[in-house]
Amino acid sequence: MSVERAFANTMAERDFEAFAEFIDEEAIFIEQPEVLQGKQNILAAWQAYFDGVQPPFSWEPEQVDVLASGTLAFSSGPVFNPAGIPVARFNSIWRLSPSGAWKIVFDKGSPIE
């Protein structure tokens, strides 16, 4: 839960370099209809979200589940627009890296219908 909150905080603090530290080299972000594969492609697409003073959105984990092995985790929760209104849900899968840092490997957001 604390790792997902720290990841979300990178957007709030407008800290793109810190955001990048959470992305695994093999990560896949599924952004309908596009699929971003690899850290560099994800960072290139997400850079624009860090431009400007105000974040375009925020997110907060509601659920985090970790395998008994402690090597993979699932996180999910709401995504909010700048007014704080829920507009989507995120679902992410994290992998524990050899360095001991959690890195996001899959991410998919879905609009609230």
In the chain, what are the domain boundaries? 2-111
DSSP-derived pairing of the beta strands 23-31 and 102-111: parallel
Q: Is the per-residue pLDDT at 113 higher than 80?
A: no
CATH of domain 2-111: 3.10.450.50
Confidence of residue 51 (pLDDT cuts 50, 70, 90): very high
pTM above 0.85, yes or no: yes
pLDDT given for residue 112 in this prediction: 87
For 19-38, write each residue's pLDDT tens digit.
Answer: 999 999 999 999 878 999 99
**Contact yes or no for 79/109 (Cβ under 8 A):** yes
Strand locations in the chain, DSSP E? 23-31, 34-37, 58-59, 63-66, 72-80, 86-96, 102-111
pLDDT given for residue 11 in this prediction: 97
For 68-89, write each residue's pLDDT tens digit.
Answer: 999 999 999 999 999 999 999 9
pLDDT given for residue 17 in this prediction: 98
In the chain, what percentage of residues exceed pLDDT 90?
Answer: 94
